[in-house]
Amino acid sequence: MSKNGQTPSVGILANPAAGRDIRRLVAQASVFPISEKRNMIARLFTALGSLGVGTVYMMVDRMGISDRMRHALQIPPPGGQVWPTVEFLEAQITESAADTLNATRMMADRGVGAIIVLGGDGTHRLVASQCGDIPLAALSTGTNNVFPEMREATIAGIASALVATGQVPLEVATRRNKALRVDVNGVESDLALVDLCASTEIWIGSRALWRAEGLDQLFLAFAEADAVGLSSIGGLVNPISREVEGGLLLNLTEPHNAKTVVAAPLAPGLIVDIGVESVREIRPGEFVPLRIKKGVIALDGEREIEFSIDDDVSIRLEWDGPLTLDIPLTMAYAAEKELLIRMDDETPHARFVNK
């Protein structure tokens, strides 16, 4: 049962726009089609229903995901599978970040035991800002996919169901993540899960950041050498893992002025020279002021915050980010405890064993 004594429930939040922004268009990269998101959700339904999740909550959209799932629900599931009851969270559709934020809050209000997110770094950042300590199953369907993982939806659904139904304890199945926090004039403004970049550009414009011009400081919660996006700069200079206590600060400059120049994959199919002036570690709780006085801050690859000379802006790294499902550990625990194994009394093998 769920924490409210209700049938165990899970939220599925699939961003219809994830994996379809300007970064993929300019680099001629493939997009993540709505049809595959629909297929992933159908596989999630199968996994969740087979493990005892009674209700799934989903966001409505205008790009076809919710309509396709409504149509799929009118047809009996294949192979005799049992799908959960699906409730679509009706709300005014804005086709903006507000849809994700509202849906996450509604799922939290309904007491879901987990939220499965289909999106990139930006989508997961939005969900993380509203989900509290509800564990996230982070599935990669976006453009820059550093925070979420490439996982088969069936396995992610099984792991989510095991946690939502209480069969695997949260302390076994989840891990806490770091977050980069933005404070503007002493008030917390927003967060990033992977990278935060201050730019000398003075307006947001197209939100997706895919050009190197004007990049001034780059803050990283973690940096992997095989990543795509801004965090790849740090990953190629000084890799730092999700588990390490601190993060990184890179002061950037134009390549012709830099001692170190990194050929960084800023987006799929887009490699750009980035000049690095200096690199240092940042500690949790350390307040770092920006060195430029006006500009734009990009959070996980998307421009979000404009600031002026009248604003006091600082960045800090904290260990208060979202809980995410560690799917390999969850499945290993399920194997150890034989949670997915049963012996039918009427099978020939069972009759032989029970003689």
CATH of the domain at 172: 3.40.50
228-252 per-position pLDDT tens digit: 999 999 999 999 999 999 999 999 9
Q: What is the CATH number of the domain that holds 263?
A: 2.60.200.30
304 found inside a domain = yes
344 assigned to some structural domain: no
Clarify whether residues 205 and 313 are in a common domain: yes
Q: List the structure tokens of 324.
A: 């995410």
Whether 2 shows a pLDDT value over 80: the answer reads: no
Distance CA 19, CA 23 (A): 9
pLDDT one-digit tens code per residue, 29-88: 556 789 999 999 999 999 999 999 999 999 999 999 999 999 999 998 888 899 999 999
Inform me whether the pLDDT recorded for 349 exceeds 50. no
CA–CA separation, 298 and 137 (whole Å): 24
CA distance 334 to 340: 7
Residue 274, strand partner residues: 262
Mean pLDDT (the chain, rounded): 90
Q: What length is written for the chain?
A: 355
Q: What percent of the chain has pLDDT over 70?
A: 89
Residue 343 located in a structural domain: no
Same domain, 154 and 207: no
Task: Note whether 158 and 186 are same-domain residues.
Answer: no
In the chain, the number of structural domains is 2
Q: Are residues 184 and 148 in the same domain?
A: no
Confidence of residue 346 (pLDDT cuts 50, 70, 90): low
Express the helix, strand and coil content of the chain in percent, nearest 5 each.
25, 30, 45
Structural domain includes residue 265: yes
Mean pLDDT of 168-193: 97
Given a contact cutoff of 8 angstroms between Cβ atoms, the answer to whether 117 and 140 are in contact is: no
| 240 in the same domain as 147 | no
- 13 with 146, same domain: the answer is yes
Cα 191 from Cα 195, distance rounded (Å): 9
Same domain, yes or no, for 152 and 203? no
Q: Are residues 224 and 327 in the same domain?
A: no
Rounded distance, CA 14 to CA 58, Å? 8
Contacts of 215 (CB under 8 A, 6+ apart): 197, 198, 199, 230, 252, 274
Give the per-residue pLDDT at 78: 83
Going by C-alpha positions, the residue among 268, 265, 304 that lies closest to residue 122 is: 304
Domain that holds residue 310: 179-318
219 within some domain: yes
Global pTM reads 0.91
pLDDT digits (tens, 9 = 90+) for 203-231: 776 667 767 889 999 999 999 999 999 99
pLDDT at 355: 54
